[in-house]
C-alpha cells in the first residue's frame, strides 16, 4: 500500500481498531488526521508524537458546523475512515427514545456528517478519494441484533447509507465502502467475555488490513460494499 503524500482522516483513531489502522497507514506513508473527544485517550495514544500524526480536539462528531471545520483544515484529503461510534445493549422494553437517539448520533449521524464533509472536500480537489464507514454484523444479519435493537438499527442505517452514497458519488472518482465487524479480539472484549473462544475473533490488525485496502489507491473498483470481517466467529 502506497499512501505517500496522501492525507487521511480517521475518526475513532485512538481506539483499539483505530490504533491498528493508524499504524498500518503510517507504515504506508500516510499523513493521519485524528479527531478526538476524550483527552485521556489522546494522552495515551501510542502515536501521539509521531510526525505523520495530527491529533485534533473536537467536542462532537454529530454537529454539522464542527465537522465541516474539521475537514476544512485537512489539506488534499484523500481518504476518510469512520471508526467512531458507540454500543448499547438492552431489550426494547428498556430502551428509551433518548437511548435510540444516542445510538443514531454516535453511529449514523457522525458517519453521515463526516461523509458529507469528506465528499465536499474531495469534490473540490477533483482528485477522487476513498471513504470507509463502519457498520456491524447486526447491520447485515438483523436477527443477531436481538437485545440491542437501537444499536442494530443505527448500524443498519450506516450500511444502507454507504451503499446509496457509493452510487451517488461514483462518477466523481470517490469510492465508498463499509466494513461490518463481528466481535473483535481486543482486551476490553476479552475481559467482558472471558469464556468465549477469543481465537475465533478477528484481530484488529486483520480488520485494519481490510480498511487500509478499501481506503487506498490500490482499490480502483470496489464500491458500495459492506464487507463482513468476522474471522471464524
Q: Which cell goes with 54? A: 495530527
Q: How many residues does the chain have?
A: 233
Catalytic residue (choose from 3, 71, 151, 230) = 151
Find the angle CA(194)-CA(196)-CA(199) to the nearest 5 degrees.
105
For the beta carbon of residue 128, count every other beta carbon within 10 angstroms. 14
Is 151 tagged catalytic? yes
* Helix locations, the chain, DSSP H: 16-27, 39-43, 64-72, 97-103, 110-125, 137-140, 149-169, 187-192, 204-214
86-121 exposure pattern, b = at least 16 Cβ within 10 A, e = fewer: eebeeeeeebeeeebebbbbbbbbbbbbbbebbbeb
Please tell me the distance from the alpha carbon of residue 164 to that of residue 132, in angstroms, as a whole number.
Answer: 13
Please tell me the distance from the alpha carbon of residue 18 to that of residue 84, in angstroms, as a whole number.
Answer: 9
Active site residues: 151
Amino acid at each position: 500500500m502506497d499512501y505517500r503524500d496522501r492525507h487521511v482522516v480517521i475518526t475513532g483513531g485512538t481506539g483499539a481498531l483505530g490504533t491498528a489502522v493508524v499504524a498500518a497507514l503510517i507504515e504506508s506513508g500516510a499523513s493521519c488526521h485524528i479527531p478526538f473527544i476524550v483527552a485521556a485517550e489522546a494522552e495515551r495514544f501510542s502515536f501521539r508524537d509521531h510526525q505523520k500524526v495530527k491529533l485534533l480536539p473536537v467536542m462532537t462528531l454529530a454537529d454539522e458546523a464542527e465537522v465541516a471545520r474539521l475537514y476544512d483544515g485537512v489539506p488534499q484529503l484523500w481518504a476518510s475512515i469512520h471508526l467512531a461510534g458507540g454500543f448499547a445493549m438492552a431489550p426494547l422494553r428498556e430502551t428509551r427514545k433518548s437511548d435510540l437517539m444516542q445510538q443514531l448520533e454516535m453511529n449514523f449521524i457522525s458517519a453521515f456528517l463526516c461523509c458529507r464533509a469528506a465528499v465536499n472536500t474531495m469534490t473540490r480537489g477533483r482528485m477522487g478519494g476513498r471513504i470507509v464507514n463502519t457498520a456491524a454484523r447486526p447491520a447485515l444479519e438483523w436477527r443477531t441484533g436481538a437485545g440491542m435493537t437501537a444499536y442494530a438499527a443505527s448500524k443498519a442505517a450506516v450500511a444502507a447509507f454507504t451503499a446509496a452514497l457509493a452510487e451517488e458519488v461514483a462518477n466523481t472518482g470517490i469510492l465508498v465502502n463499509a466494513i461490518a465487524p463481528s466481535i473483535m479480539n481486543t482486551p476490553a472484549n476479552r475481559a467482558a467475555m472471558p469464556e468465549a473462544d477469543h481465537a475465533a475473533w478477528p484481530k484488529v490488525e486483520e480488520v485494519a488490513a481490510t480498511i487500509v485496502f478499501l481506503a487506498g489507491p490500490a482499490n480502483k473498483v470496489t464500491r458500495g460494499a459492506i464487507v463482513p470481517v468476522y474471522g471464524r466467529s
